[in-house]
């Protein structure tokens, strides 16, 4: 990476416009702190060494300053791409961008990504959606995932029209707008983890079921998939089959003891305290049985006329004890 003094000054100005936090950058790297660097030298370090070393910058939300950073490549220089890619990935994962992203695709940002050899795509999903925002390379291009996180959203709940619906209707509005603003950008839907974990466990708690049952889970999962399919039918009407990518739910591979701790942390222990079955509560506090064998619900074809041949692959898995 060859940069002259003017290039350094220009990229420094662009990084600051992107919200680069030099103090936070140094603080997140103990070796830089140990070397005596501070905020005043943090920006210079990232430009001279940090970006090439793969260190993540601390920046503001997408797309602050990104267009100006892209403009540095107008003269044909290759080095701006590395800075653009590093800043974009960090900005895309910044929760502060969510409000902007829900307004719909930004054609300028998408054009900037593509001009810098990025392959943009959106990922709607629960908290696991960020895992799909990978920065891997594909030939000379790189993946530019933009996650739009729907905290606590269940696949089954997306089909609800009335409260407590949270995300189904906004996603459909977004897809309608995207059909014009970004007709060629893929959209991934990553839902089902909440159903396979939190909602399934809530179902067991509410019904006083202390042991895992494969048939019960199969019935529960089939109902959840059928509701999710209603939402997918509506999504297809707005986005078309070609643009949508439907992700399977992450396998539920937690022991009950670990699950209980996370569940109670997320729900404040409400369901636990409200349980009228002391024996059931005791069983959950001291799980002793080994994890059940891998249990899977097969591919469903209950999506309606809009479903592709063979149905959606929406299997849910569990390792519950």
Q: Is the pLDDT of residue 293 over 50?
A: no
In this structure, is the dihedral angle defined by the CA atoms of residues 99, 104, 109 and 114, taken in order, positive or negative?
positive
Q: Is the pLDDT of residue 309 over 70?
A: no
- The mean per-residue pLDDT over the stretch 218-236 comes to 94
Q: Do residues 222 and 305 lie in contact, with contact meaning Cβ atoms separated by under 8 Å? A: no
- What pLDDT is recorded for position 19? 96
- What pLDDT is recorded for position 275? 45
How many Cβ atoms sit within 10 Å of the Cβ of residue 26? 25
Q: Is the pLDDT of residue 110 over 90?
A: yes
- The mean per-residue pLDDT over the stretch 262-284 comes to 48
Please state, rounded to an integer, the average pLDDT across all residues of the chain.
80
How far is residue 15's CA from residue 18's CA, in Å, rounded to a whole number? 5
Q: Is the pLDDT of residue 269 over 50?
A: no
How far is residue 195's CA from residue 231's CA, in Å, rounded to a whole number? 15
Confidence of residue 263 (pLDDT cuts 50, 70, 90): low
CA distances for 243 relative to 28, 131, 186, 195, 236, angstroms? 38, 20, 5, 24, 9
Q: What is the 3-state secondary structure (H, E, C) of 46-75?
A: HHHHHCCCCCCCCCCCCCCCHHHHHHHHHH
CA distances for 265 relative to 192, 198, 261, 290, angstroms? 20, 12, 6, 23
How far is residue 152's CA from residue 15's CA, in Å, rounded to a whole number? 33
- What pLDDT is recorded for position 130? 83
Confidence of residue 30 (pLDDT cuts 50, 70, 90): very high
Q: Do residues 224 and 155 lie in contact, with contact meaning Cβ atoms separated by under 8 Å? A: yes
Task: Determine what percent of the chain is predicted with pLDDT higher than 70.
Answer: 76
- What pLDDT is recorded for position 42? 95
Confidence of residue 75 (pLDDT cuts 50, 70, 90): confident
Q: What is the DSSP letter of 240?
A: -
How many Cβ atoms sit within 10 Å of the Cβ of residue 256? 23
Best-predicted range by mean pLDDT (57-71, 121-135, 271-285): 57-71
pLDDT tens-place string over residues 127-170: 888 888 777 888 889 999 999 999 889 999 998 755 555 899 99
How far is residue 304's CA from residue 311's CA, in Å, rounded to a whole number? 9
Query: For residue 109, how far is the Cα from the chain centroid?
Result: 19
Q: What is the DSSP letter of 155?
A: T
Helical packing angle, 256-267 and 278-285, nearest 10°: 120
How far is residue 317's CA from residue 253's CA, in Å, rounded to a whole number? 8
Least confident of 73-77, 264-268, 316-320: 316-320
């Amino acid at each position: 990476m060859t940069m002259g003094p003017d290039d350094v000054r220009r990229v420094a100005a662009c990084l600051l416009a992107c919200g680069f936090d030099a103090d936070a950058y140094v603080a997140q790297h103990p070796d830089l702190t140990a070397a005596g660097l501070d905020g005043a030298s943090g920006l210079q370090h990232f430009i001279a060494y940090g970006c090439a070393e793969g260190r993540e910058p601390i920046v503001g939300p997408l797309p602050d300053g990104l267009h100006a950073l892209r403009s540095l490549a107008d003269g044909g220089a290759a080095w701006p791409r590395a800075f653009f890619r590093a800043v974009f990935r960090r900005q895309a994962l910044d929760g502060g961008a969510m409000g902007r992203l829900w307004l719909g695709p930004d054609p300028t940002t998408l054009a900037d990504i593509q001009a810098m050899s990025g392959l943009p795509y959106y990922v709607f999903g629960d908290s696991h959606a960020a895992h799909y925002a990978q920065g891997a390379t594909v030939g000379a291009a790189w993946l530019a995932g933009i996650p739009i996180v729907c905290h606590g959203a269940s696949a089954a709940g997306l089909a609800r029209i009335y409260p407590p619906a949270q995300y189904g209707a906004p996603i459909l509005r977004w897809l309608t707008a995207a059909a014009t603003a970004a007709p060629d950008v893929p959209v991934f839907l990553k839902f089902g983890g909440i159903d396979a974990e939190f909602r399934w466990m809530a179902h067991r708690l509410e019904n006083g079921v202390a042991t895992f049952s494969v048939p019960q889970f199969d019935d529960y999962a089939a109902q959840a998939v059928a509701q999710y399919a209603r939402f997918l039918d509506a999504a297809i009407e707005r986005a078309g089959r070609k643009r949508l990518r439907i992700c399977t739910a992450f396998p539920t591979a937690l022991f009950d003891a670990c699950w209980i701790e996370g569940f109670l942390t997320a729900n404040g222990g409400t369901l636990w305290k409200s349980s009228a079955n002391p024996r059931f509560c005791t069983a959950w506090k001291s799980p002793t049985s080994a994890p059940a064998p891998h249990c899977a619900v097969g591919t469903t074809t209950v999506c309606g006329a809009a479903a592709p041949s063979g149905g959606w692959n929406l299997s849910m898995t569990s390792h519950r004890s």
